[in-house]
A and B are shown apart, each in its own frame.
Chain A
Amino acid sequence: EAAVTQSPRNKVAVTGGKVTLSCNQTNNHNNMYWYRQDTGHGLRLIHYSYGAGSTEKGDIPDGYKASRPSQENFSLILELATPSQTSVYFCASGDRGQDTQYFGPGTRLLVL
């Protein structure tokens, strides 16, 4: 089974501050994804990547940037955090041509 880790697991940030969420996968998957999950809702796609150096906008990219410096690492960046970005963020990876996505444990972000 794919191993996807996220850090930090919990984060408290202030409004207007910069937040970086990190994701690492050790299974050499080409594709990586960032989702957010709000209470009582499903996951919504923020950004995704097809490989090192590539980032694509998902369904709700506003207020977020992404960076994929290597095959293993994919970061989500909130340049100016707002309380509306309080949520649980999940990273996932998947291999090219395969449909299954493997999820990390999530990062709980609170923006005050």
Chain B
Amino acid sequence: SQLAEENSWALSVHEGESVTVNCSYKTSITALQWYRQKSGKGPAQLILIRSNEREKRNGRLRATLDTSSQSSSLSITATRCEDTAVYFCATETNTGKLTFGDGTVLTVKP
């Protein structure tokens, strides 16, 4: 079974709107990372939130972590067309290895 999974396969918004991608996981973690993968590229880290943190921000991005419900969210405000990508959550355990979810495809329309 998936150790990490995003809760939506695909989301679509218009430029300027806000959007939230949700992730749930099934194991004890040391951190949760959000990655973005644009078409034809490798993933790039957006935010890392440690297990003792509840919220982390990076510009227009805001990640939350709820270890009691084993869930995380990534919110993007004022979306732009260039935010179109696949968004992955990845859980990190004390082994240092990452386990990726299947990803959420986000499309931002003009």
Chain A residues within 8 Å of B, Cβ to Cβ: 4, 31, 35, 40-45, 48, 58-59, 90, 92, 99-106
**Main SS class of interface, B:** strand
16 contacts between A and B (CB under 8 A): A40-B102, A42-B90, A42-B100, A48-B97, A58-B97, A59-B99, A92-B42, A99-B31, A99-B92, A99-B96, A100-B45, A101-B45, A102-B45, A103-B42, A103-B43, A106-B41
Question: Is B44 within 8 A of A103, CB to CB?
Answer: yes
Question: Is A44 within 8 A of B33, CB to CB?
Answer: no
A44 to B88, CA, bound (A): 12
Cβ of A33 to closest chain B Cβ, rounded Å: 8
Question: Is B98 within 8 A of A45, CB to CB?
Answer: yes
Cβ of A104 to closest chain B Cβ, rounded Å: 5
Chain B positions 28-69 with a Cβ under 8 Å from a chain A Cβ: 31, 33, 40-45, 48
User: Of A42, A43, A92, A105, which is in contact with the most chain B CB atoms at under 10 Å from its CB?
Assistant: A42
Residues of A within 8 A of B92 (CB): 99
Question: Is A90 within 8 A of B43, CB to CB?
Answer: yes
A103 to B43, CA, bound (A): 6
Question: Is B102 within 8 A of A41, CB to CB?
Answer: yes
Contact A42 B41, CB 8 Å, known A99-B33, A99-B92: no
Residues of B within 8 A of A42 (CB): 4, 88, 90, 100-103
Residues of B within 8 A of A41 (CB): 102-103
Residues of A within 8 A of B96 (CB): 31, 99
Cβ of B34 to closest chain A Cβ, rounded Å: 12
Residues of B within 8 A of A48 (CB): 97
Instruction: Return the chain B residue nearest A45 by Cβ.
Output: B97
Question: Is A105 within 8 A of B102, CB to CB?
Answer: no
Residues of A within 8 A of B33 (CB): 99-100
A43 to B43, CA, bound (A): 9
Residues of A within 8 A of B43 (CB): 43, 90, 103
Residues of A within 8 A of B98 (CB): 43, 45, 101
Contact with A along B73-110 (1 / 0, CB 8 A): 00000000000000010101000111111110000000
